[in-house]
Amino acid sequence: MIRFLLKGILRDKSRSVLPVLVVSLGVMLTVFLSGWVTGVFGDVIDMNARFNTGHVKVMTRAYAHERDQKPNDLALLGTTELIRQLEKDYPDMQWVERIYFGGLLDVPDEKGETRAQGPASGQAVDLLSPGSREAERMNITHSVVSGKMPQRQGQALISHEFAERFDVKPGDPVTVFASTMYGSMAFKNFTVSGTLRFGNAMLDRGAVIVDIRDARQALNMEDAAGEVLGFFEQGKYLPGKALEVKNSFNRKYSRQEDEFSPMMLTLGDQEGLDEMLAYSESVVGIVIFVFVLAMSLVLWNTGLLGGLRRYGEFGVRLALGEEKPHIYKTLIYEAFIIGLIGSVLGSAIGVGLSFYLQEHAVDFGSMTENMGMMMPSEFRAVVTPQLFYIGFIPGLFAMVLGNALSGIGIYRRQTARLFKELEV
């Protein structure tokens, strides 16, 4: 029977072309929007992980309560031993030290007198150790606008906006004024090796990036760090695994009565990112629901119009003795076949569009440059395994539901009136 129905669908274009087009369009939009939403939220999560939260983060308990202020006076001590223990307990993760500091960036003139000053938002990361992946992880290399990456200690990268505002060029000296771990005044001279722009206001506003050894020397933080970040080797955040690592670490090392004992947080525990992850999943579900509802209404109307056109056909089949349930069942089979064809075509187009936007990002830099939230300047879709089947949910369900609703009219046919209708 399936073969017979397939021949009828292919030969009668008037009852198959419009439904196939409607299903294909709806499925294509569902697949594409799913890939786009997943990609955008994934990029936001990934950027926050690389620059701020890590997949997991270790801090002192006191630092964790005031982590928005980056209080270095509450920093971790003995981080060399801590990281050695972390690498032993969780060998499938990468562990890095970070120091964040604020202060003033002073630009001297040719006489060494202050020519300009501006607020500095500093990050100290491991830029110079052989094998360090921090520059790659934070996309520092590709964000350099002029000059080059630091090649030795005593060199720094500064915000390109700051450099343009105060006419600072690579090779010029600058001085960073900040506070040490113990609250005293600290200052250190640097040579500007280059300027950089991340395309995000939070990162570019007075940014200063130095090697962590220079920061430790200047801030009196030998063998100390504000935060220790952990990243999964795959580079992707795994919520379940992160929670397992967090619980394991806190049971072993964290003591509630000691505010300077280390404690671990997952990415989801920070910056409201757990809610964002849940929201992204909800958005995909809402997209599917909306398209199922919209396509069901459209296909219901299409089925009603098709039913009117096939009114005589149904009458003849009933007059020949075919039972109403059998006619209704064949109508559902037809809907399933048409939905399957449309879902395959729509999924192929949607996955193709998602793949194109995965390789060619859309630049939203002009829209995100003044945002306070840490967001990438370029957004990409992402092709995930679910894109290959998610479109079949609205495609098949909406088509079958629409025809099931319109096919109810078959049961309202009065057999006694068939001959009168056929005469007409």
Nearest to 392 by CA among 352, 345, 357, 353: 345
What is the structure's pLDDT at 364? 64
Per-residue pLDDT of the chain (424 residues; tens, 9 = 90+): 556 556 555 556 666 677 788 888 888 888 888 888 888 888 888 888 888 889 999 999 999 998 888 899 999 999 999 999 999 999 999 999 999 998 899 999 888 888 888 888 889 999 998 888 898 888 888 889 999 999 999 999 999 888 888 889 999 999 999 999 988 888 899 999 999 988 777 677 778 999 999 999 999 999 999 999 999 988 788 888 999 999 999 999 988 888 899 999 998 888 777 777 777 777 777 877 777 777 767 766 665 655 556 656 666 766 677 777 777 787 788 778 888 888 899 999 999 999 998 888 776 655 555 554 566 667 788 888 888 988 888 788 777 777 777 677 666 655 555 555 555 5
Type of residue at 127:
L
d(CA 159, CA 142): 14
Find out whether 49 and 277 touch, Cβ atoms under 8 Å. Answer: no
Cβ-based neighbours of 108, under 8 Å, separated by 6 or more: 114, 115, 173, 174, 175
CB atoms near residue 251 (< 10 Å):
8
Task: Annotate 232-299 with three-state secondary structure.
Answer: ECCCCCCHHHHHHHHHHHHHHHCCCCCCCCEEEEEHHHCCCHHHHHHHHHHHHHHHHHHHHHHHHHHH
- The two tokens of residue 237 are 């955040």
Nearest to 116 by CA among 172, 58, 180: 172
Q: How far is CA 277 from CA 36, 222, 283, 284, 358, in A?
A: 15, 37, 10, 11, 20
What is the structure's pLDDT at 11? 59
CB atoms near residue 72 (< 10 Å):
24
CB atoms near residue 242 (< 10 Å):
22
What is the structure's pLDDT at 10? 58
In eight-state DSSP terms, residue 222 is T
Per the listing, tokens 């958005």 go with: 283
Residue 409 has, within 13 A of its CA and on its CB side, a CA count of 19
Q: Record the pTM.
A: 0.74
- The two tokens of residue 77 are 């001590």
- The answer for 214, left when phi > 0, alpha when psi is -120 to 50, beta otherwise, is alpha
Find out whether 406 and 39 touch, Cβ atoms under 8 Å. Answer: no
Long-range pairs of 333-336 with CB within 8 A, sequence gap ≥ 24: 333/1, 333/2, 333/5, 334/5, 334/8, 334/9, 334/403, 335/19, 335/303, 335/399, 335/400, 335/402, 335/403, 335/404, 336/396, 336/399, 336/400
The values of phi and psi at residue 379, to 5°, are -110, 140
d(CA 152, CA 171): 13
Instruction: Characterize the bridge pairing of strands 185-196 and 155-159.
Output: parallel
State whether residue 179 is helix, strand or coil: strand
Terminal-residue alpha carbon distance, the chain: 30
What is the structure's pLDDT at 183? 84
